[in-house]
Structure 1
Amino acid sequence: METNLRPRRSALYLPASNAKAIAKARALPCDMVILDLEDAVAPEMKAEARAAAVAAVNEGGFGHREVAIRANGLDTEWGEADLAAIAGAKVDAVLVPKVNGPEDITTYERALAGAPAHVQLWTMIETCASVANLPAIAAMAGTTRLSLWIMGTNDLAKEMRAQLTPCRTPFLPFLSMAVAAARANGVAILDGVCNEFRDLEVFEAEARQGLMFGFDGKSLIHPAQIEPCNTVFSPSEADLAWANAVIQAFSLPENTGKGAIKVDGKMAELLHLEQARRLVAVSEAITANG
């Protein structure tokens, strides 16, 4: 079982140029905060936003929340300066856009050479080329800072010229492929944003779809999405009751050494015991973070 079960249910994007929103985020119940220098910031505001993001993370006050800064790509006029500034800031991670293949991971790894060892590299999966290279990109986690992916379904829809509807039918194969590649290489993975922040029923349905696919959590564009997202990606009372029943049953002396037993009238195998232990550990980590 993983040793790092840090909750990553909800990752809120905030424009790095919005000081009021950043201050508010220090008290929001999200697990992760991503200060955005890319899509949410106009070209003429990029340098100012970069300075504001670095100042905010250096000031701290985010508590248990993981804090990342999303940089502009190295293929833009702002990317190099972004990476240099973020590498020296008190961040948990750098999030980079539009990775197409493993060679891009190598390039970003080189750009972050001066950053402290604990600084992670997170990447967006949002291009058609990245979908074709998922296993190769994920495998870079073995030798680099790469530790987490975030799906960028809006940009992927744009490249594909596909319609991004609530059911997300055109993207379902890519979502499952990304989760499988991530899991095979120990990479955490978050679902993409839901553009609907007024209708939380629509949001919750998409979040539950992400949970069904196996995502660790979801990226968000509005604080109103945090509570339903945390609820969806937290173990339910029924889930925990099942998990504790399985753990207790396998701990009984008469079940020592058995690979399969009956629990509440259903067959439970050792793989279910592993799942149960992980579920309980996730719940305990969520409780510990308050």
Structure 2
Amino acid sequence: MPPRKAPTVRQRRLGAELRRMRERAGLSLAQASGLLGTERSSMSNIESGRHGISGERVRAWATSYGCSEPALVDALVAMTEERSGGWWDEYRDSLGSAALDLAELEHHAVGFRALQIMHFPGLLQTEEYARAVFRQAMPPLGPVILRRRLSHRMRRRDVLDRPQPPTCTYLIHEAALLMQFGGRSVARSQLEHVLNEAERDSITVRVVLFSAGGFPHAGGSTLYISGSVPQLDTVHVDTPTGSAFLDSETQLGNYRSVLDRIEETALTPERSRDFIRKVAQQL
């Protein structure tokens, strides 16, 4: 079977976790290849996500590496059993890989923690608000791509309606509440929609006020995506130059600390809802 031309973030992550497992065992690629009776090139392709691997082989490799984390091994085995593709594949002809990878990560996530400075979180956006945000894209989006991006964003919201939805904590800066994308009517509807969504047991919304002062990572938005086990968490960072997916132990620890510090300064969920109502009433 030829190597995958463009493995997804989750396919690369499975390989990366196997590489980390090997490295924690103190084995080079050549040593592991001899131990497992697998060609070095084949192992390299698996660790890069360019080749798949069976769940049986994952368990065999984990045993050979002396891995003592059964929950992680079970989660990796489950990843090998995922069928390629999902609803997001319908958009492969028109959207970049980052948008598709984000939808796939959200589909498999058990929880989110998000920091939003200037926009409301994507999963909490109304269609009219999202359209107004996309119309500010640079370079400007053509009508066909605009419709496709809007449709994709609305489909992403379906994860919130699952029988067992992900547990979400959204830290939204006051600036996002005051930015009137699409005008007063659209902004008011967006605020009311967030208040309705915040009534879900699975969703917590907390507002970070201007008066809270500065805080880490104030210049961008962050989505911390919780995997089925903590070792499979991923951070999605959206910047004007593109998206990045971060998953090293140090990166995850740093972003957890950032979000912890910001939560310490945010209003409680109850006071946050009161503040959002106040802003909506003033529009």
Higher share in helix: 2
TM-score between the two structures when normalised by the length of structure 2: 0.28
**Of the two, which has the highest radius of gyration?**
2
